Amino acid sequence: MPLSKAELHLHIEGTLEPELAFELAARNGVTLPYADTEALREAYRFQDLQSFLNLYYELMAVLRTEQDFADLADAYLARAAAQGVRHAEIFFDPQAHAARGIGMGTVVEGLWRALGRSEERHGVSTRLILCFLRDESAASALETLEAARPYLDRITGIGLDSAEVGHPPAKFREVFERAAALGLRRVAHAGEEGPPQYITEALDVLGVERVDHGLRCMEDPALVGRLVRERVPLTLCPLSNVRLRAVDTLADHPLPAMLEAGLLCTVNSDDPAYFGGYAGDTFDAVHRVLGLSEERLRELARNSFLASFLEDDEERRRRCLAEVEAYEFPRTA
C-alpha cells in the first residue's frame, strides 16, 4: 500500500505516454514524425523548458475528440491511483487545443467523462484547473476565460503555464481579476526558469494561493521568509527540474533545504510521461536520492492535502489526512 497523497501540479497533456500517442494517432489518422514509440522516446532529451514545450505541443495533435481526452485522463487516473494518489488537481491547456480547432467543450466534456467517475472507479477525487499560456497574449487569455464560462461548474481554478521568461505574471492581471470575481481559485507557475521577482508578482498582482514550482525563491532569503510566514504552498516537481535542467542532478535539488527552511513544500510530477515518473515514483526518488526521512515524506503527503482545494469537501480532506498519519512505511529487511 503506497502512502496517500494529492497531486497538485499535473498537466493532463503531459501524461500522454508514447503508446497512447500512437494509438490516438492511428484512431484519428494523424501522422507523427516518429517511426515508433522507441524513436519518440529518443526525442525526450531536453535542454530547457522551451525544448520540452516544442515536443509537448507537437504531440497534442493526436488529441481530437471528447473520447481522446477521456481516454487520456482515465489512463492517468489509473496510474495515479496505483501510486497512492487520492486527490488530483489537474491542469489543462485549452489554448493549445483551440489553436488546432478543438473547442473548449470537447476538451472539458471529454476530460469530465473520466473525472466525473474517477472517485468511484479509481478512488481519486479530482478538480480541474484551466491554464492560460503565458506566451500568448493577455487578450487571448481573456477570450479563453469567456469560452470557459459555460463550463465553470466543472472548473475549480485557473493557472498560468508555458514559456516563463519574458512573460511576467503582471501581463495577466486583468484575466486573474475577472477569474477571481467569478469565484475561481488562482495558481500560477513562477520561479521555474523565471526570477524570484515573478513569484512576488504572482502573489501580489495575481493573488495566487499556491505557487507552481517556486524553485528560484531560494535565491531571495526575504522572499523565502515571506513564503514561510504566509504559509504559501509550493508545488515542486523535482523530476521535471532535472529533465529541464533547472538543477544539474536530483542530488542537487534544494528540496531538503526548502523543507529545512520551513517552506510548505509539496512534490508533484508535472508531465510524468516526459519526465520519468508519476507521483509515487517522485516520492520514491526524493527518499532514495535526497535521503528524505520517512517523517519528511509524511510531511510532504500531509502538505499536499493541506494545500489542496478541498474546502468544498472537508470530510474527504480529513479522511485523506488520517490515512497519511496512519501510514506505516514498509520495513526493509
Ligand X SMILES: Nc1ncnc2[nH]cnc12
Annotated binding-site residues read: 9, 11, 189, 270-271
Report if residue 270 touches ligand X, rule: CB under 6 A. yes
DSSP state letter for 270? B
Judged by beta carbon, residue 6 or residue 49, the one nearer ligand X is: 49
- The 10 Å Cβ neighbour count of residue 23 is 14
- Residue nearest ligand X by beta-carbon distance: 161
Cell numbers of 117, please? 467517475
In this complex, which beta carbon is closest to ligand X, that of residue 12 or of residue 224? 12
Cell 509539496 belongs to which residue?
266
Residue number with CB closer to ligand X (188 or 324):
188
Q: Please pick, from the candidates 89, 136, 201, 271, the single residue that binds ligand X as defined by CB under 6 A.
A: 271
Partner interacting with residue 89 (select from Zn ion, ligand X, none; CB below 5-8 Å by kind):
none
CB contact at 8 A, 90 and 127: yes
Around Cβ 48, how many Cβ atoms within 10 Å?
13
Q: Does 317 bind ligand X (CB under 6 A)?
A: no
- 210: β partners: 187
Q: Indicate the pairing of strand 185-190 with strand 125-133.
A: unpaired
How far is it, in rounded angstroms, from Cα 267 to Cα 208? 18
Site size for Zn ion (CB under 5 A): 1
Number of residues binding to ligand X, judged by CB under 6 A: 11
Residue 22 C-beta: closest distance to ligand X, Å: 21
Give residue 333's identity as a one-letter amino acid code. A
d(CA 43, CA 28): 22
Whole-number minimum distance, CB 29 to Zn ion, in Å?
Answer: 30
Nearer to Zn ion, 64 or 240 (CB): 240
Q: Of these residues, 192, 201, 299, 315, which one is catalytic?
A: 192
Query: Which residue's Cβ lies closest to Zn ion?
Result: 270
Annotated binding-site residues for substrate read 271
DSSP H helices in the chain: 18-28, 37-42, 49-59, 66-82, 94-98, 104-115, 118-122, 138-148, 173-181, 196-204, 221-229, 238-243, 255-260, 272-275, 279-290, 294-306, 314-326
192 is catalytic: yes
Q: Which of residues 233-292 bind Zn ion (CB under 5 A)?
A: 270
- From the list 14, 196, 238, 254, which residue makes contact with ligand X (rule: CB under 6 A)? 14
DSSP string, 48-63: SHHHHHHHHHHHGGG-
Nearer residue to ligand X within complex by CB, 136 or 270: 270
Residues 125-184 that bind ligand X (CB under 6 A): 161-162
Does position 11 interact with ligand X (CB under 6 A)? The reply is: yes
> Which residues are annotated as part of the binding site for Zn(2+)?
9, 11, 189, 270
What is the identity of the amino acid at 228? V
**Residue 16 near residue 332 (C-beta atoms within 8 A):** no
Mapping DSSP to helix (H, G, I), strand (E, B) and coil, where does residue 99 land? coil
Report which secondary-structure segment, H or E, holds 125: strand 125-133
Considering the complex, state which of residue 244 and residue 310 has its C-beta at the smaller distance from ligand X. 244
Chain residues 189-208 in contact with ligand X, contact rule CB under 6 A: 189, 192
* Residue of 15, 156, 200, 240 interacting with ligand X (CB under 6 A): 240
> Measured on CA atoms in the order 291, 295, 300, 301, is the torsion positive or negative?
positive
Residue 193 makes contact with Zn ion by CB under 5 A: no
Interface with Zn ion, residue 89, by CB under 5 A? no
Distance in Å, CB of 49 to ligand X, minimum = 6
Q: Which residues bind Zn ion (CB under 5 A)?
A: 270
Q: Which residues bind ligand X (CB under 6 A)?
A: 11, 14, 49, 56, 161-162, 189, 192, 240, 270-271
Residues with active-site annotation: 192
